Amino acid sequence: MDEDNCMVDIAKFFLEFTVDESCGKCPPCRIGTKRMLEILERITGGKGEEEDIEKLETLAKNIISSSLCGLGQSAPQPVLSTLKYFRDEYIAHVRDKKCPAGVCKSMMSYVISADLCKSCGICARHCPVGAISGEKKVPYVIDQEKCIKCGVCMEKCPFKAIFKNA
Structural domain boundaries in the chain = 7-96, 108-165
pLDDT of residue 71: 93
Into which CATH architecture does domain 108-165 fall?
2-Layer Sandwich (3.30)
Fold of 7-96: de novo design (two linked rop proteins) (1.20.1440)
138 three-state secondary structure: strand
- Measured CA to CA, the distance from residue 95 to residue 111 in angstroms comes to 22
pLDDT digits (tens, 9 = 90+) for 21-75: 999 999 999 999 999 999 999 999 999 999 999 999 999 999 999 999 999 999 9
pLDDT of residue 2: 86
- Measured CA to CA, the distance from residue 70 to residue 144 in angstroms comes to 44
Residue 1 has pLDDT above 90, yes or no: no
